[in-house]
C-alpha cells in the first residue's frame, strides 16, 4: 500500500514538474517574449557599441597627444605666440573661389 502511494505521489510530482517546465518554455517562445528579448539584446549591443566608440575616441586623443608631444607640436614657435595665425589655419574663401578665369579653366562652379 505504501509503495503504491509513494509511486503515485512521485508520478504526480513528475507530471506537475514536466507540465510547469513545458508551460514556461511555451511562454518564453511566445512572440511577445521573443520581441522583448530581441529588444533587450539590441539595447545591450548598442551600449557595447557606444562603449567601444568611447574607448576608441579616448585612445585616439591619447595617441594624438603622444604624437604632438613627440613632434613638439604642443608648444607654439617663439615668434608667433599662442597658436597659428588665422590665415595659416584656414584659407579665406570668398568670391574669388567661384570665379572663372585663365588661372582656373576647369572650374565648373558657375552661377546660372
Residue 23 — pLDDT band, cuts 50, 70, 90?
A: very high
pLDDT at 57 over 70: yes
pTM metric for this prediction: 0.45
pLDDT of residue 37: 93
> Which DSSP string do the residues of 40-72 spell out, in sequence order?
HHHHHHHHHHHHHHHHHHHHHHHHHHHHHHHHT
Residue 51 — pLDDT band, cuts 50, 70, 90?
A: very high
CA distances from 45 to 13, 31, 49, 108 (A): 41, 21, 6, 46
pLDDT of residue 106: 60
Amino acid at each position: 500500500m505504501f509503495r503504491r502511494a509513494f509511486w503515485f505521489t512521485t508520478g504526480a510530482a513528475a507530471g506537475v514538474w514536466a507540465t510547469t517546465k513545458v508551460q514556461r518554455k511555451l511562454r518564453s517562445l511566445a512572440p511577445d517574449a521573443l520581441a522583448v528579448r530581441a529588444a533587450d539584446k539590441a539595447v545591450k549591443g548598442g551600449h557595447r557599441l557606444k562603449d567601444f566608440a568611447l574607448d576608441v575616441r579616448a585612445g585616439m586623443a591619447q595617441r594624438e597627444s603622444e604624437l604632438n608631444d613627440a613632434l613638439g607640436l604642443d608648444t607654439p614657435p617663439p615668434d608667433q605666440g599662442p597658436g597659428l595665425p588665422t590665415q595659416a589655419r584656414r584659407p579665406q574663401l570668398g568670391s574669388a573661389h567661384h570665379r572663372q578665369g585663365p588661372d582656373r579653366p576647369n572650374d565648373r562652379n558657375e552661377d546660372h
